[in-house]
Structure formats: C-alpha cells, structure tokens
Amino acid sequence: MDETAFHREPATGTARWSIGIVATNAEDLAACVASLRAAGFGAEDTTLMVVRNFGRNHYDCYEAIHRFIDEAEGERLIVLHQDVTPLDDAAALHAALDALDARDPEWALAGNAGFRALMFPVYRITHPGDDNVRVGNPPQSVHSLDENLLILNLKDPVRPSAGLSGFHFYGTDLCLTAREAGRRAYVIDWLVRHDSLGSRNASWREGIAMIERHWQGRLGSLIVNTPTTLLLFGVFRILRPIRHKVYGAFWRIERRIWW
C-alpha cells in the first residue's frame, strides 16, 4: 500500500464522528467534503479520513474500512461514497442514532438502503430516478445494506471479513458478521442523495462469487436479498445459474408493491 494515498485530518477538538471516504476523483471528493462540512460535520468534532485511489487502487474497500476503524475517533464511523451529499444535517443524524441507541444499545451498523427479508426492502434515500424515497419504516433491522452509506458503531466495531477484497458487498459482509455475533444492522431515517445506481461489472460478479464462497456453510440454507442481487447459500445454490433472472423478477414485483 502507498501510505501517501491515505489522508487523515483529526478533529481539532473532541471528536464526535469519524468519516471515511474512498475516492477516485478529486472533484467529486472536494464536493462531498464541502457538503459534509455544510451539513454540520465540522473540523472541530469530525475526524476526516480519505483513501485517494487517484489513477490506481491503493486500497480496496475492505482494506480501507479496516484502516478507517483503526484510525477513527469518536463513537461513530461514517463510511460513504464520494458521490453522496447529505440532505439532512449532522444534528438529525445524531438524533437518529441516539434513538437507535435507546432502541438497541448493541446495534452494529446502520445505513440507508437494505432488505429486512426476501422482497422486503427498507430504503431512505434520494438517487437517480427517485427523490425522497421512503420504503419500509426506518429505523428497521435489515440483513443487508447498500455501501453508499454505512455507519459503524465504534463502541464495538464489526470489521470486514478477512480474506475478502474488492469494492462490492462489504456492506452485506458487515451485516452478516454482525448477525453471526448476535447483533443487528439497521436502515435509519437520515436522508442523503446518492448520484449513482452502481455498476454491475466483472468485479461485481467476482464479488458475488467471493462472498458466497466465504460464507457458504456458515449460514445454512439462506437467501440474502441485497440491493443489487440475491446471495444464495445451502440448498438455494441451485438457483445461482438463473439468479439474475430471478432477481429481476423480484425487483419488478418489489417496485410495484413498495414504490
């Protein structure tokens, strides 16, 4: 790893938050940081960490989150994509997480898009084609989370699984790690705009194979509905050759029911 690719600005006062961003574009990064500052994540109470994958990948997201946890200050670590803009402010997030503390003091992580069960999404997000989406009743526990926004409870942080790498499914991996430890992940009511729907490319397909291989045998027979596909374990492995057709059919049904 190139140590110059990791940048850390410690809070100038007592840290309440840490924020970690994996960035590939300097302009998007600058806009994201400016929006966070404007939303109330100030230099005095927020430690800012950036992985600058400019030109080439120095850290993948699994490695980056390990580093963010090691370098974080405060009680909560926010990991977000460079194309995310807060629409609610820091005070609203603080209130949402305080309410989550009261509901479940052992919560492991939170986000804004996931599934509580097969075909039962929970969303609180603005993204291309959909403004101010609210599906489900956040705060609500989920078994998967989209990676555009992840908030880790630093009182006892869950970490990405050793042996996994890349830029996909680390949100779901963290959810499964929390589940294995008897803890929960949640979608909460804190609105951001995410300016992308993601890419389902070769590395995404490799990520599916990797996470299924890693968790196979540890979950029993289970379908994990993620925001981009179905992860299939145990007897449900027989559906893997047609998973994308199955997921597409489920997604069309979900849209009619929930949107």
At 187, is the secondary structure helix, strand, or coil?
A: strand
Q: What is the pLDDT of residue 168?
A: 96
Q: What is the pLDDT of residue 196?
A: 87
At 65, is the secondary structure helix, strand, or coil?
A: helix
The beta-strand segments (E) located in the chain are 6-9, 17-23, 46-52, 76-81, 84-86, 109-111, 113-117, 120-127, 130-135, 140-142, 144-145, 149-153, 185-187, 192-194, 222-225, 230-233
Q: What is the pLDDT of residue 250?
A: 84
The answer to whether 10 and 47 are in contact (CB under 8 A) is: yes
Beta-carbon contacts of residue 209 (< 8 Å; ≥ 6 apart): none
Q: What is the pLDDT of residue 105?
A: 97
CA atoms of 144 and 231, how far apart (whole Å): 10
Beta-carbon contacts of residue 249 (< 8 Å; ≥ 6 apart): none
CA atoms of 259 and 256, how far apart (whole Å): 6
CA atoms of 242 and 244, how far apart (whole Å): 6
Q: What is the pLDDT of residue 21?
A: 98
β-bridge mates for residue 85, sequence order: 193
**Which of 225, 205, 248 lies closest to 117 in space, CA to CA?**
225
CA atoms of 181 and 148, how far apart (whole Å): 24
Task: Please report the domains of the chain, with CATH numbers, ordered by start residue.
Answer: 3-197 (3.90.550.10)
CA atoms of 244 and 250, how far apart (whole Å): 10
Beta-carbon contacts of residue 54 (< 8 Å; ≥ 6 apart): 5, 23, 24, 25, 26
> pLDDT tens digits, residue range 157-198?
999 999 999 999 999 999 999 999 999 999 999 999 999 877
Percentage above 90 pLDDT, the chain: 88
Would the pLDDT of 2 be above 70? no
Percentage above 70 pLDDT, the chain: 99
**Which of 71, 13, 19 lies closest to 43 in space, CA to CA?**
13
Q: What is the pLDDT of residue 99?
A: 96
Average pLDDT, integer, range 101-114:
97
Helix-then-strand count for the chain, H and E: 6, 16
The answer to whether 195 and 83 are in contact (CB under 8 A) is: yes
> pLDDT tens digits, residue range 109-158?
999 999 999 999 999 999 998 999 999 999 999 999 999 999 999 999 99
Q: How far apart are the first and last CA of the chain?
A: 43
Q: What is the pLDDT of residue 129?
A: 85
